[in-house]
Amino acid sequence: MELFPELRLGWLNGWIALAMLVLADAILFLAFSKPVVARLWDRSQWSRKQRIFTVIGKLISLGGLILIVFTPLKIGTPVLVIGAVMAVLGLAGVIASVIDFARTPPDQPVTRGLYRISRHPQAVGAGLVLLGASIAIGSWAAVILWALGHLFGHWGILAEEEACLAQYGEPYRQYLQRVPRYFLFF
């Protein structure tokens, strides 16, 4: 791992992990009805502060994405294996949790599948893909940008929980008490 890796265009860059995530999301979103997709992207109940912090997180993450896209994978190294395993696990988590989301009626909170062990498995899965890609390219700068982006993105997670609490009431309050935010902790 190095702080700032050499940037260059190439077929074996970190963009491969990002492409898998985007492709999986695109396929799933095309397969789902418009109301399901709209529910996935609904930010109507977020406060201005929550939106601003989330946008700041996305802008920071954009720096990490640029590093990932333009940095070659560390072929033949342990960081590639570790990063690839993390990215694949994250991708599987995103796919499974989006399917669980789509199968849940809109008048009920999503509590099945990975949602039984995390309140935000889509965010955790996508984060794992990005962290895995950052590790697979061997860049501490990408890992730091990932961490900062997710720190600010936490405001979006809190906003989603507030919106779900307002929409679903007591069943969601009980869910909040039962299930950790990010898998085993928090």
Q: What domains are there in the chain, each with its CATH number? A: 15-30+46-178 (1.20.120.1630)
Any idea of the CA torsion for 29, 144, 89, 68, to the nearest 10 degrees? 60
Q: What is the pTM of this model?
A: 0.86
Burial of 4: CB neighbours in 10 Å, binned 0-12, 13-18, 19+: exposed
Digitized pLDDT (tens) for each residue of the chain, 186 residues in all:
888 888 888 899 988 888 988 888 888 888 888 888 777 777 888 888 888 888 898 899 999 999 999 999 999 999 999 999 999 999 999 999 999 988 988 888 999 999 999 999 999 999 999 999 999 999 999 999 999 998 888 888 888 898 889 889 999 999 999 999 887 655
